[in-house]
């Protein structure tokens, strides 16, 4: 069974940093791109960024709203993806979800999701 579990959320002050983890199981982690999506309270879904598999260079892409502040990385030996969030702003407050980006399927969907972890940026 494919599972993704996020961790690392919490309360952080503006300007500080936080690192989220996404621990995967039930599939060959290294073969898939991993995606991060966030949802501010009462709002819709916002794509944050993704990291490609090593076979595709392990490169990353980011939304304009987080580019230069957030960094996605992966440790295939541990089946974990990370979202390093620096210079946090109050508007980064959201539930953060990781998901598997299935580049092998037509449409390239986000086919499995974690349960999410809440990040609150407040003084």
Among 20, 35, 119, 121, the residue binding another protein under the rule CB under 8 A is 35
Distance CA 102, CA 25 (A): 15
**36 contributes a contact to another protein by CB under 8 A:** no
**46 contributes a contact to another protein by CB under 8 A:** yes
Distance CA 1, CA 21 (A): 19
Among 7-15, 69-77, 79-87, 96-104, which window interacts with another protein (CB under 8 A)?
A: 96-104
Whichever of 15 and 46 has its CB closer to another protein, that residue is: 46
**108 contributes a contact to another protein by CB under 8 A:** yes
In this structure, what DSSP letter does residue 29 have? G
DSSP H or E run through 118: strand 117-121
Among 44, 68, 77, 104, the residue binding another protein under the rule CB under 8 A is 44
Spatial neighbors of 18 by CB under 8 A, at least 6 apart, are: 8, 9, 10, 12, 85, 88, 119
Chain residues in the site for another protein (CB under 8 A): 35, 37, 44-47, 49-50, 61-64, 97, 101-102, 105-116
């Amino acid at each position: 069974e494919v599972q993704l579990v996020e961790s690392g959320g919490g309360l952080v002050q503006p300007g500080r940093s936080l690192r989220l983890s996404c621990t995967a199981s039930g599939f060959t982690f290294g073969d898939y791109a991993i995606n991060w999506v966030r949802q501010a309270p009462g709002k819709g879904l916002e794509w944050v960024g993704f990291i490609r598999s090593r076979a595709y260079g392990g490169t990353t892409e980011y939304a304009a709203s987080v580019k230069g502040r957030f960094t996605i990385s992966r440790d295939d030996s541990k089946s974990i993806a990370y979202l390093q969030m620096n210079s946090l702003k109050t508007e980064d407050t959201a539930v953060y979800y990781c998901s598997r980006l299935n580049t092998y399927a037509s449409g390239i969907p986000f086919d499995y999701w974690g349960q999410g972890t809440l990040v609150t940026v407040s003084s």
